[in-house]
A and B are shown apart, each in its own frame.
Chain A
Amino acid sequence: MSLLGEISGIEIIGGVTLGKLLAMILIIAVGIPVAYIVKRISYKALVRFLPKEIAGAVSRIIYYALVVAVVVSGFGTMGVDLTGIVIAGGIMGIILGFALQSITANMVSGLFIFWERPLKPGDVVEIGSVIGRVVDISIMSTKIMGFDGVLVRIPNAKVFDSVIRNYIVAVARRLEFKASIAYHEDAEKAIAVIAEVLDKHPMVLVEPQPDIFVSNLGDSGVEITVRCWVPTSEWYPTLKDLLWKIKKALSDAGIEIPFPQNDVWFRSPLEVRLIGGEQKGQ
């Protein structure tokens, strides 16, 4: 037996030889820097499409998982039986998994939201019944500042499962409203009046062309639907401005905008009595 073999075969304690100890030290000494390098590489790769905090968290998880694997491998070479610890860790993991189910779901959903990018800070969105501007997206939740000034925190799992309407992804947005005119009015004239209002408004886009048409013969009047496209950033001001301008233009053109009306017919003639007189009428 060579000298090296003899030295490595020296037993230190309880069957652990010097060679096995050195092998363990070597595995840990090499494995941990390698895990660190993998962490740095994964961070650089992830930070391209994930926010810094998320990329940092994911790369740290990778790092600690590798460190655990290295340590288990190292002790394994020494003949230390870590099966019990691994099983205990596994059971602990299952328990924690159940206990932290919602947290895990939110974290995973957060990662998918970052991956898919259906919304980003600054976007005006509607998630469920919440409408507002996205102010922050973290790994656990999405914060939305409502137009009423109330900050709403929505867990990412709920965001991920919800229908998300993003109102500012497109540069232009369609605006739609209805105007009603009396039955005796000329609908073609009303359409021409509305078209002129749209034509004069700078924020109503030339293309796509506005669409104005009779859409319904309602209970009280003829309904005219107006559809036009406006710059997304000007959608709300234009909506407020246009509706009133159309109302004024229709009134100026002498076109009656009807109130809801009900004609009531009595099957039997009504008798009218004048108090303090003797006259009777029908």
Chain B
Amino acid sequence: MGYGEELGEAVINECTLSAETRGGYVVYRNTCGGVEKILAGKPRLVVLPIYPVLYPKMFTTYILVMLSTPVHLGPEEEVALYIDTPVDVAVYAFQERGGPERDTAMDVLAMPLKALSSMAGREEFTIIDVVAPGRVKYTLYGMPETGVLARHHVSSPGPEPPPARLGTAYIRVVFRNRTREWVTVTRILLDARKLRLWYRRGTWEAFYSRAVMTVTSRSTASVDYVSERPSGDAVAVPDPEELRPGRLPVATDMLWGV
């Protein structure tokens, strides 16, 4: 079992997810919480990685990754490192909107992003369940009255991508110091609405598009997101509407410490 594969039965942590086709509908079950849903038609249920802000319910779009090893940046220096970030597992239901019989060769999950968007008129999706394989904790970044809530994660930065593991997705971050003094970076704030999530089919490998964290003072920084298609057979995760990136690139400001 891996991302992108059609759900028969999968065990994630202590939760057993299953899909059973009956007559004209599909029954989805999750043993955690006794979830049972009936899906009309013949939807394909697929397990995909999802941004870690939907479980147990969505009340933020931010992810705060604390670096277990601080990064000290000299004046106007920069370094590119990989960090791991949390990722949850979503069960997507894909359903054709009617029209001609589905072309099995045009499997939507195996298609690159551009082709995927061209399929938008033919196949609709919805997320029917989200499971968190890892520890779920949230934190406050900033003050209660002005700060933001964020999914909390601790990561150890390194020069290579960490091994693929269910529940984590890696991201390559360029830490850039624009000041003329030494700065210490201990955390990075990411916005799920601006990230792009990718996966490799049949594996538990998931990763985000690159980010550049530009430190502008000892306590402030801005995080920019690089939108580019990764090499190889990576497939983009269809973004739920509430996390769809805007058309204009907007940086995430870190105003309450770096």
Contact = CB atoms under 8 A, between A and B. Distances in A.
Q: SS class of chain A's interface: helix, strand, loop or mixed? A: loop
A171 B149 CA distance: 7
A165 to B, nearest CB: 14
Interface in B140-155: 140-141, 144-145, 147-149, 152
Nearest to B142: A171
Interface string A205-236: 11110000000000000000000010101100
Contacts of B139: 205-207
B59 interface: yes
Nearest to B139: A206
Given A231-B149, A233-B59, A234-B59, A173 B137 contact: no
Interface string A28-52: 0000000000000000000000000
A152 interface: no
Contacts of A172: 140, 144, 147, 149
B98 interface: no
B6 to A, nearest CB: 29
A193 interface: no
A202 B145 contact: no
Given A202-B56, A234-B59, A171 B140 contact: yes
A233 B145 CA distance: 14
Which of A170, A206, A229 has the most CB atoms of chain B within a 10 A radius of its CB? A206
A233 B139 CA distance: 14
B140 A205 contact: yes
Contact of B59 (A199, A206, A207, A231): A231
Contacts, number: 47
A253 interface: no
Given A231-B59, A233-B59, A206 B144 contact: no
Given A231-B59, A233-B59, A234-B59, A202 B148 contact: no
Interface residues of A, number: 17
A169 interface: yes
A203 B132 CA distance: 14
Contacts of B55: 202
Contacts of B60: 231
B79 interface: no
Interface string A222-252: 0000000101011000000000000000000
A206 B136 CA distance: 11
B94 interface: no
Contacts of B59: 231, 233-234
A172 B144 CA distance: 5
Contacts of B138: 202-203, 205-206, 231
Contacts of B56: 202-203
B137 A170 contact: no
Closest 9 CB pairs of A and B: A170-B144, A202-B136, A206-B139, A172-B144, A207-B139, A170-B145, A206-B152, A172-B140, A205-B139
Interface of B: 55-56, 59-60, 136-141, 144-145, 147-149, 152
